[in-house]
Homo-oligomer: A and B are copies of this chain.
Amino acid sequence: MQQIWLSLLSGLCLCLCLVFFCDAEEGLEFPNFDGKDRVLDVNERNYKKALKRYDLLCLFYHEPLPTNKGLQKQFQMTELVLELTAQVLENRDIGFGMVDSHKDAKVAKKLGLEEVGSLYVFKDDRVIEFDGQLSADTLVEFLLDVLEDPVEMINNAMEVRAFERMEEDIRLIGYFKGEDSYFRAFQEASERFQPYIKFFATFDKSVAKHLSLKMNEVDFYEPFMEEPAVLPGRPLSEMDIVEFVTQHRRATLRKLRAENMFETWEDDMDGIHIVAFAEEEDPDGYEFLEILKDVARDNTNNPELSIVWIDPDDFPLLTTYWEKTFKLDLFRPQIGIVNVTDADSVWLDMSNDEDLPTAEELEDWIEDVLSGRVNTEDDDESPDNQESEDSNDMDDDDGSHDRDDDDESDE
């Protein structure tokens, strides 16, 4: 099926990272797409065979081929991303296929595919949904993570340090006697969340002691929290663990990641997100992030609060889009609320001060957001508001500045 576009695009190699080599040095050669057709057109006749044949089967669930030429080329680029990924991972026993939501509706139903535009990964009897940035490098990294063991062992003090440094991730760690039935229950639970939530285990007494883990205890570390939550009950069944994780997986402060960015964005709070931009590598950004962590720690038990932290360094191509859409300067840290249906937004005014807000000031502002006193609708375009925009006292009082119907040009 890919013959049509392959003839058009073959040689359009290096799609993501085109490099001209100008010297004889070797060792850093990015893959070129070789034009070989590796992505299957999955249908009722071949899907069972494909499921059996590979360790992993990745199916991209898509709308029918559009008639619009621009959209067609876009579609072909998705296929190219999948082809390049398939080529790069050729020796890993991973199958790739496309499922048409119209033509292959029956297969989709049988396989439980629901969200058009998502990629579904079949591993043993599980299905993992990928709803992230569909670029070859993000996808390759994701699939390599899926191939790893779902439970990572922590054997010594140095590995404990590595574990403790992963504060951005949701992590679980269990202490077990060995590969017994309790460990296996933990393992089974881990498979349900791989690779999004990290599971660790130790059989080592001194590691357990260092982490204050009792035998058969499982601890849950929310991102950026210093103290873990202990899962109630010991020993734990697979379902005990699954239920606890499902209930607690939306963190008070969560980092936006390429691998599940759209899933995170869809998990909004009543149609809005509290979004914080902070570049961790920048001293200002680092400082602001530390303040955010304090706020998150103070409010970890508030189920109403979840702040999405975006490090602009992770999304260079989106940085200027965000600056335009939200009318922001992303060289500085920012925090605001974004309405996910229209991208209307209100941002905390931090431009007047040399200093960043304190954790207390930030908490006051967040309280105003959660109570609805600060929101994206108050000054939306209406004859009244348009005329009195400059004298909108509330905005000044709460230190917020709406960026939606602002007329300043960003050219």
Contacts from A to B (Cβ < 8 Å):
10-32, 62-63, 69-70, 73-74, 77-78, 81, 84, 88-92, 115-118, 133-138, 140-141, 144, 148, 152-154, 156, 158-159, 161-163, 165-166, 200, 261-262, 265-266, 268, 273, 275, 281-287, 290, 313, 316-321, 324-325, 331, 338, 340-343, 410-411
Contacts and interface: CB of A to CB of B under 8 A. Distances in A.
Contact of A137 (B12, B148, B200, B316): B316
A55 to B, nearest CB: 14
A159 B15 contact: no
Contact of A22 (B18, B117, B133, B138): B117
A74 B262 contact: no
Contacts of A320: 88-92, 140
A290 B158 contact: yes
B286 A158 contact: yes
A115 to B, nearest CB: 6
21 contacts: A13-B74, A15-B16, A16-B135, A18-B77, A19-B133, A20-B62, A20-B74, A20-B116, A21-B117, A22-B118, A25-B265, A27-B265, A27-B273, A27-B340, A140-B320, A144-B316, A152-B282, A162-B282, A162-B285, A163-B283, A200-B283
Contacts of A134: 17-20
B144 A318 contact: no
Contacts of A410: 91
B12 A77 contact: yes
A200 B313 CA distance: 19
| Max count, chain B CB within 10 A of own CB: residue among A29, A77, A275 | A77
A11 B70 contact: yes
Nearest to A158: B287
Contacts of A166: 281
A256 to B, nearest CB: 8
A115 B317 CA distance: 27
A313 B27 contact: no
Nearest to A92: B320
A22 B115 contact: yes
B136 A317 contact: yes
Contacts of A154: 283
Contacts of A21: 117
Contacts of A261: 28
A26 B340 contact: yes
A227 B158 CA distance: 22
A335 B61 CA distance: 41
Given A26-B340, A135-B18, A341-B24, A88 B317 contact: yes
B78 A20 contact: yes
A140 B317 contact: yes
B91 A411 contact: yes
A83 to B, nearest CB: 12
Given A31-B321, A133-B19, A343-B26, A159 B74 contact: no
**A-B interface, 3 closest residue pairs, ranked by CB to CB distance from nearest:** A162-B286, A20-B117, A22-B117
A141 B287 CA distance: 21
Contacts of A321: 29-31, 88
A265 B116 CA distance: 42
Given A73-B12, A88-B320, A148-B331, A25 B283 contact: no
